[in-house]
Structure 1
Amino acid sequence: MTVIVGTVRFRARDYSAEEAAFSLPRTPTDEYDHPLATRPSTHDQVDVVESEKVDFSDPLRAPTVALVSNHDVQYASESCIGGLCDEVTLSAKEWAIFKRSLMQKFSFTQTVSVSSMSDVLVKGGKVSEKSLAGLHLEELDDPQKTAEEEVKVITRQEYISRLHELKDEIRRAWQAEDRVARLLLDTSVSQFYPTIFILVTEVLDMLGDMVWDRIKRKAEYADDGMLICSLPENFKATDVSHDAKETCNNWFCKIGSIRELLPRIYLELAILRCWRFMQDNSSAVIHRLTMMMRGLADPLASAYCHLYMAKCAQTLPLRDMGFLVTSFNDITILLTRIISGKGNSHAKSKLLITLLEPTIEWIIKGIFKDASKWKVNDIFLELGLRRDMLKLNGASPCISIVLHHLLKELPAETVKVNVLDIMQLIEDCKDITFDQYLNYRLLGFKLYESGPQKESVCVLLDKVFQAVTQYNNLDEYLKVVDAYLDIVLQYQMDNYLSMILDGISLRACNKKVTEDELGSLQSVLIKLLTHFNCLEEAFALNHFIEILDVMYGSARDIVNMHILTKATRNGCFRDPTIIQLLFEISRALHDSLDFSSLKGDDHQQSARLISRFVQMVDFGPDLERHLTFLIECRRAFGSINEIQETLVHCGNSLAIKATKDGKPLGFVKSCIAFNEVTIPSISAITGCMNLYLETAEVALICGLVSHADGLIDSAINTIQSLELSDGSRLPIEFGGILSSIRKLCGLLVIVPGNPEEGITYMPRNILSLVKSHSWVTPGIRIKVFCAIVSLSATLAQNKLPYQASNSEVVGNDELFFGEPSYFQQLVSISCSILQDLVEAIQQEPVNVARGNLALEACNCIISSFEASPEISVVCTELMEIAKSCLHANNRYLQSTCPHLRGINLSYPTDDHSSTHDLEIESR
């Protein structure tokens, strides 16, 4: 331990002179030289760039790209065989996504009944060797026995696993025949049919790839493996050798020998692109297959067969898309038969329509995918949907579900031009295939996308609202009006807006709103909030608050957050009605939070919005009402630290405002007391301590010295309570605590010392704290030591660097001027620190950190004390520690050494120095 003897004196400081000497020169910047300033020419430059379409890397202006998973990309690349173009590659990706959605949508069946035609799937079963004729005769002899023997039940997963095994068998043995394709004849478990379709067609696609590769290799290589030619991507039939054509023809002949129609069609579709080896134009082939499908009696099997043809035809070049229109019309006929209900119950008809919907969707997409080659009117004509045809036939040939997917694919501009014709189609579609209100809804979104003319909009809205007012169901009503609300707001059609809000209020009143209805209500209210510039305008709408009150759950939270976001973007809130309404909204948002997981983004955003609202409330001169509001907020939002911290800041601001306005000191004390009660509820130790110090500073500004002393004691006690009685410790923010202690030392410069306790009462409390707690690291301890030494050196000056802004608060330089005990106390605490400094630094285990701490302490001593032998001894020990821990070229070390040379080692020692020797002498 270093023993400090003799006389230790603080250096005299002239803070004003030092500031003038060491401050960097400052010059005012030009208005447009600031990097964030907007230059007059900026907009012109942007216009030039945009007009010239210069491509530059701006991630915020990058176009939105549809993301496809790696699996889809891999699938697409594997499907891109035979020189397919980018368009086909994209179709392959779309097909992969379509398959995945189909499997997810129809994956609810857990068991599957398997008939004799599917015995190939039964685990451990043998493939039936009986002929079709034999099976038919057995069925005629004993139908019941045959049915019992043939129908077996396996789980869905067993079915899928067996299909994957078959796929591997085909890959190894090329023995597919028609066994797999025959699975699609079985529609007995209709809900599982889409899954069977996907699994079977994957096997067939693999078979088609294998056949393609075999024939292509036959065309390019001789029997001995020698390369004959390489077929180009866009090869013609004339480029293919005779042997390859013969092999290809044999495959089609083999398939043509299959007796059952459905397996024969599927297998030919699987190798459809192989026709390229024999002929350049495959339109006749596709037409023939389309006509063959009309022989499929089962509507489910027929529709999915059309779907597979639409998928396989994409692999053909220069294909004629007319077959899709034929497929579309054929499926429409099937739907018409289902709608008629002959032989089917209503539930079975609805199920069949649901199962057929994916086929309609994909085929219509295919039709409009090449819409650039068609005129839209021609498409309407081919589909039988032209207005003149409707009048001629006297009835609409369109079916609701078909119209829905047709409308979904129509370009927005086409919808705009034909909006009244489409509206007529919707009005006439009243079948069971699709809910009519969803077509009204889709038309509204499409129309808004196209930017319609106001004249046509008025006619359309009249028709829509005539229909929608008949809906008693709130969900249906909301889904329709939500789609047209954007148009109503865009053209400021207040009469329709009133009708919408009246209709919602009528249907939502006195009923429990469902989850689906909540989503639509959320959409409606957010559109209204977004449209109006002023929040008060939205609140003034008829039934707005009433509709908001029926909402609950996450939808209500989202709307509340939108309200607070919009509210806090403008100026302060002075209207008591608006303040109360926003307070209730904030309280509802607060009460809905899950406090077990407050670290989520939604929780943080909610806390920020509520805090921002509290900050923006302004009751003007009625400060008492403002303080009452803060007390209500503390009661309502007591569970979130961030809001409690905001309340303390607001309480301090209110105290300062009251002081400036000359309010009675009693009100200021009430504000300080409000903070003293609020701060302990904050769990963050660093935040709690900083708020105590902030409030103490406010108390000094207001002239409340005793309150400031109490708040500083509370701040120190906050750190004192960190170590728990059971030995466990709370998570400690070491950097934040050190920063708070340094801030406290800076505040103590202007806090009048307590004549009874002494000027060093609070610094000694801090020293006791850092010495006695085990969680205090050596680094923190050394930095606190240096902070207290600097504080003591500052307090010992004849003139302090800064004073409290309140003239009634007397600084220590005036309060204790010439008092010997004042300087003795400052020297005493500093000498106590100097005696412990070297030992404390040696406790730091990390060499580099120990060296840096030694340098920091050395610089603190040099700047605080005059040169003396005692100071020289301490600094020498510190420099030895630094040199042993740091490299000789360390810049911190090198910059510290010159300051040591200025220390006078022959400074006289006077053991009988008077009290005056302890005072600072001006230089």
Structure 2
Amino acid sequence: MANLDWVCVPRSYEVRKNHLAGQATLEHPLKQQSVTVVDSNPLSRALEGTDPLSQFARQDEELNDPLSPQKVSELDLKSKRRERDRTEPEDNTLQWSSRRLGILNRFTTNEKLSLSTSFLVASGSLDGGSESIKAHTVVADKTKYRLEQLDHFDDGSMRHMMDLTQQEYIQRFEQLKQELIQSWHNDQRVKALKIAIQCAKMLADTTVLQFYPSQYVLITDILDVFGKLVYDRLRSKASGDPGAVSAATLEREREAARDTCQNWFYKIASIRELLPRLYLEMSIFKCYEFLSSSREEYEKVLHRLTHQLRGIADPLVSSYARCYLVRMGVTLTPSKTYIRENFKDLFIIYPQIFRFVARFNLHPEIVTASSYLQLYAPAFDYMFLCLVHRCELHTQDMLAECKQLKNNGAILMSILSSFKSEFIATNALEFIELINASETPGISKSQLLRSLGSCVSSCAPLQEQRMTFLKTAFETINKLTDPNEYINCVETWAVFVSQYFTVHEVNRLLGELNARMCLGKAYEKHYSQLQNILSRIMQNYRSIELLLIQPNFLPYLDLFQKESVRVEVCKNILSYYKQNSEEYTSDAVVTNALMYLGKILNDSVNALTVEDERRQISQLINVFIHKVYFGRDLEQQLSFYVEARGTFSNLDAVYVTLVHAACKLATRNRSKSTGFVKACIAYCFITIPSIGAVQQQMDLYLLCGQLALQHLCLGQADACFEAALNLVNELPAATIDFEGKPRSLERFLVSYLCNMLATLIVVPDSPDQGVLYFLRLLLEVVGRHEFKTDSTAPSTIYLHCLDMLYVQSLEKFPYHIRGVVSNDDLYGHDPKFLAEVNNMCGQVVDALLLQLKSLGVAQQQRSQAELALELFLKIVRYADLEKESVAQLAVNLWLLANKAQSQLDVKTLPQTLRSVEVLYKQVKDASPKQAQAIASLLLRMRNS
């Protein structure tokens, strides 16, 4: 539109300023308000004020009256039960359920297992038997019914299942458990008893030794279920009929329960074989409370069972039977006497265990000596735990007896696992002597030392004993010739050393490890242990900075020759530094160590590295870059950034952080000299091109240009702005978001260029480049940029260019940067400058008219109408409407918008008209000629 005679009109901002009208209020406008709505429900009137659910609740309250006779009798029983429960453990320390899963996971086998039972038969025959034997409820028929059960389940029906896998074996026992429960609920008590007996017999089978602890867990689970069923049955009988309120009736019921309880013990006592007889009596041991409430009686029974257990020949079977006895005993009595007696018997047969060990040494294909002794650990551990639970009377005695035993390694292991850490810490030197003197086949000193190290890590010896204890312990550890045993010991003791000793001992430990593991390249087989040692030291030592400056710390990292492991170790170290370091560090040694770690991570990044890995590494390096702080020594800080730029060349995110850090450093310059600021900006200007993402480069160039402008470095600012504008056409059309979907960058470009236009308002023209050089460059790159056909992005940019040009035409800009001579002062409202501004406004309007035409060709009527209204308002506010060409253009734009009225919001055109009317009222006093031109335009708008 070459005939457009654009002239910018002056504006008084004070006239146009709109003040926000305030209104006094007594309450906070954002205060939460609660509104109560009463809604009458027509259905509620039919109830006539009576809620049937409330009636039931009142009835329940009446039935649950604690003063009723029925409740009195129930409370009496509950009080007695609570009195009994006081003897049971209140915490989970002695709960077997917390141990059973660990045993099942630890003791497994690949060998084939066998199982003998008469109850896991074919489904058809089993169902037929169930149909032939009906559950009778008549009391007179019970004897006949039980005899029929005995005849039906004779010994001739035994089935031998061979070649079972471990999983199949476990499934069979689960089936037996369900069969026992079902038989009990079907009133087939004899069948349930025989299932329990047959299961108990299997505890004598040690064919697959390494599976015996798991076999014990599976079978005792069934025995526990059997014992619970018997106990619950007796308890229900002893509780009596809830409807009976007579004391005599309740007493008769309890007497019947006692008789039934005695019958159960008589039945079990008639079992011929020793092992099932003992196990079944122990499984229902809790039922003795129905026969007697005296703890002395319970202890007599426990001592009797202890003596009977002496008849079991196999030490493994005997040990687990004693464990079961102890487990049942703690539920009724807190006495430790019977446990102590069990240990006396155990120590008598203890040498017999090592006859088996000697045999297995000759035949290691069956089981190794070490594996065989580990089979005893669950039983020994639990028995020791029950012995010392809430009682310290027997700890010294047991330790003394352990000293007297030959081959005491297995007992010592269980003591270390079960006794309290405080006791072990108090006698730490004594335990070290015991370990040094121990020569137990199958139990190495390294195993004992690891167990001791775990104990003292949670509770250390006395302060005056610690150094002696540590030296004595490591004298033994350093004598271990097997690298595997050595590294496993140190892995456990690393927690103790780092938690209770100074950094010198930690450094010495790292040095010894380095020297020992370099022999024969032993480190290649123990990367995980070496990594765990370092992690435990960093977790427990109080200062990560002190560790980093130790002479043996970085050489320790050289043990990790495998690149993937070394990278993982460096990431862990920087993660600990991120979480546990001081806020800032200025130590050169710490900084160099961190740079060394960061360089390893940087060098591991290549073209195949996934984006998430890059992000993690960049975040870790960025954290320590922010923590390096040299105070007022700004030159040293900038030198560190220069070194970091050369070190972390593969990580764009680190470069972005360095640019921001250098910009922040420039703002800390307290002196009036701009030399250091120029150095910081030059650093940024050199660093930014190395960043791969064009979007980030543009942002950083604009930031650095604004910073340079604020510090009066005009040459540097011009260079940054020009570099940023030259990158516009290198910006990709879209980027990939975090969900992997393409995201257009047009919105970013519009926002970015609008930000730059706001900055360019105060940027003075360079004498070497001409008037409004940067705006001309911006219009040029926007004209060359490829937008979508229906995109409104170029229109938005051109409209903001009009805003910027109009501000350039004013005598005084709305804002300035202190010390920067902007174009309003530089040109002083020179007519030649204004003519150039008006000429550029005409060029921008021409570009906008081309955009209007393109939108019309693309059938984008709504976008075309909106753009026409936007341009119309710009012309009305900025241009001299006395010029006929300008006024006619405004009218044409208004008519164009009216044609697409159906595409616009119904309020858009009236609001636009109202805006012009408001503008007329604002300028009618300050500029009568402009007001007259606006009035003429309004008349033409209304007539159109």
Q: 1:517 to 1:852 in 2, by over 3 A?
A: farther
**1:503 equivalenced with 2:503 (yes/no):** no
Q: SS at 1:114's partner residue?
A: strand
**Bigger RCO (CA 8 Å, 6+ sep):** 1
List per-residue Cα deviations over 1:143-189 (Å, max 9, x = no partner): xxxxxx96821222222222222222222223231222223222111
Counterpart pick for 1:642 among 653, 661, 669: 653
Q: CA RMSD in A?
A: 5.6
Q: 1:757 to 1:451 in 2, by over 3 A?
A: same
**1:427 equivalenced with 2:436 (yes/no):** yes
> Quick one: which amino acid aligns to residue 101 of structure 1?
G
Counterpart pick for 1:350 among 350, 356, 370: 370
> Quick one: which amino acid aligns to residue 159 of structure 1?
Y
Q: Which residue of 1 aligns with 2:290?
A: 277
Q: Distance in 2 between matches of 1:93 and 1:881?
A: 84
Counterpart pick for 2:314 among 283, 288, 298: 298
Q: Which residue of 1 aligns with 2:623?
A: 609
Q: SS at 2:734's partner residue?
A: coil
Checking the alignment, whether the CA contact within 8 Å between 2:702 and 2:756 is kept in structure 1 is yes
Q: Distance in 1 between matches of 2:899 and 2:625?
A: 52
> Quick one: which amino acid aligns to residue 274 of structure 1?
C
Counterpart pick for 1:322 among 334, 337, 345: 337
Checking the alignment, whether the CA contact within 8 Å between 1:699 and 1:707 is kept in structure 2 is no
**1:113 equivalenced with 2:122 (yes/no):** no
Moved more, 759-768 or 406-415: 759-768
TM-score (norm 2): 0.69
Checking the alignment, whether the CA contact within 8 Å between 1:444 and 1:483 is kept in structure 2 is yes
Q: 1:353 to 1:788 in 2, by over 3 A?
A: farther
List per-residue Cα deviations over 1:652-691 (Å, max 9, x = no partner): 5788999986659997896355235313x13xx6434312
Which one has the largest radius of gyration?
Answer: 2
Q: 1:205 to 1:878 in 2, by over 3 A?
A: farther
Checking the alignment, whether the CA contact within 8 Å between 1:248 and 1:274 is kept in structure 2 is yes
Please give the residue correspondences for 1:411-810 in structure 2 after superposition, counting only pairs within 5 Å: 411-444=420-453, 446-447=455-456, 449-450=458-459, 452-474=461-483, 476-477=485-486, 480=489, 500-510=509-519, 511-513=521-523, 514-523=526-535, 525-526=537-538, 530-532=541-543, 535=545, 538=547, 541-551=550-560, 553=565, 554-562=568-576, 569-572=583-586, 575=588, 579-592=591-604, 595-596=609-610, 598=612, 603=617, 605-609=619-623, 611-612=625-626, 621=635, 629-635=643-649, 638=650, 640-649=651-660, 671=683, 674-679=686-691, 681-682=692-693, 686-697=695-706, 701=713, 703-704=715-716, 707-722=719-734, 730-732=742-744, 739-751=751-763, 755=770, 760-764=775-779, 768=783, 772-773=787-788, 787-803=800-816
Unaligned stretches of 5+ in structure 1? 25-80, 137-148, 232-236, 914-923
Q: 1:669 to 1:785 in 2, by over 3 A?
A: closer
Q: 1:99 to 1:420 in 2, by over 3 A?
A: same
**1:362 equivalenced with 2:382 (yes/no):** yes
Q: Distance in 1 between matches of 2:317 and 2:511?
A: 48
Q: SS at 1:262's partner residue?
A: helix
List per-residue Cα deviations over 1:88-141 (Å, max 9, x = no partner): 57549943331221121123x2442316x45766878999999999999xxxxx
> Quick one: which amino acid aligns to residue 283 of structure 2?
A
Q: Which residue of 1 aligns with 2:147?
A: none
Checking the alignment, whether the CA contact within 8 Å between 1:103 and 1:195 is kept in structure 2 is yes
Q: Distance in 2 between matches of 1:134 and 1:406?
A: 47
Q: Which residue of 2 aligns with 1:166?
A: 176
> Quick one: which amino acid aligns to residue 293 of structure 1?
L
Counterpart pick for 1:822 among 827, 831, 837: 837
Checking the alignment, whether the CA contact within 8 Å between 2:734 and 2:743 is kept in structure 1 is no
Q: Distance in 2 between matches of 1:633 and 1:186?
A: 67
Q: 1:499 to 1:730 in 2, by over 3 A?
A: closer
Q: 1:448 to 1:580 in 2, by over 3 A?
A: closer
Q: Which residue of 1 aligns with 2:216?
A: 197
Q: SS at 1:571's partner residue?
A: coil
Q: 1:609 to 1:129 in 2, by over 3 A?
A: farther
Q: 1:486 to 1:259 in 2, by over 3 A?
A: closer
Deviation at 1:634, TM superposition (A): 4.4
Please give the residue correspondences for 1:374-389 in structure 2 after superposition, counting only pairs within 5 Å: 374=391, 376=392, 378-383=393-398, 385-386=399-400
Q: SS at 1:406's partner residue?
A: helix
Checking the alignment, whether the CA contact within 8 Å between 2:238 and 2:253 is kept in structure 1 is yes
Deviation at 1:354, TM superposition (A): 1.5
Checking the alignment, whether the CA contact within 8 Å between 1:797 and 1:813 is kept in structure 2 is no
> Quick one: which amino acid aligns to residue 206 of structure 2?
T
Unaligned stretches of 5+ in structure 2? 23-79, 127-149, 185-190, 935-944
Checking the alignment, whether the CA contact within 8 Å between 1:689 and 1:715 is kept in structure 2 is yes
Deviation at 1:545, TM superposition (A): 2.7
Q: 1:475 to 1:752 in 2, by over 3 A?
A: farther
Q: 1:155 to 1:505 in 2, by over 3 A?
A: closer
Q: SS at 2:653's partner residue?
A: helix
Please give the residue correspondences for 1:145-184 in structure 2 after superposition, counting only pairs within 5 Å: 152-174=162-184, 175-176=191-192, 177=194, 178-184=197-203
Q: Distance in 2 between matches of 1:213 and 1:769?
A: 89
Deviation at 1:251, TM superposition (A): 2.0
> Quick one: which amino acid aligns to residue 293 of structure 2?
D
Percent of residue pairs identical = 19
Number of residue equivalences: 801
List per-residue Cα deviations over 1:579-619 (Å, max 9, x = no partner): 54432211113345783251698546424335536887999
Q: 1:305 to 1:451 in 2, by over 3 A?
A: closer
Q: Which residue of 2 aligns with 1:100?
A: 101
Q: 1:215 to 1:895 in 2, by over 3 A?
A: farther
Q: SS at 2:335's partner residue?
A: coil
Q: SS at 2:440's partner residue?
A: coil
Q: SS at 2:164's partner residue?
A: strand
Deviation at 1:321, TM superposition (A): 3.4
Q: SS at 2:181's partner residue?
A: helix
Q: SS at 1:152's partner residue?
A: strand
Checking the alignment, whether the CA contact within 8 Å between 2:424 and 2:456 is kept in structure 1 is yes
Q: SS at 1:773's partner residue?
A: coil
Q: Distance in 1 between matches of 2:111 and 2:865?
A: 74
Q: Distance in 2 between matches of 1:893 and 1:318?
A: 92
Checking the alignment, whether the CA contact within 8 Å between 1:160 and 1:199 is kept in structure 2 is yes
Q: 1:337 to 1:395 in 2, by over 3 A?
A: same
Moved more, 875-884 or 747-756: 875-884
Q: Distance in 1 between matches of 2:304 and 2:913?
A: 98
Deviation at 1:646, TM superposition (A): 1.9
> Quick one: which amino acid aligns to residue 649 of structure 1?
H
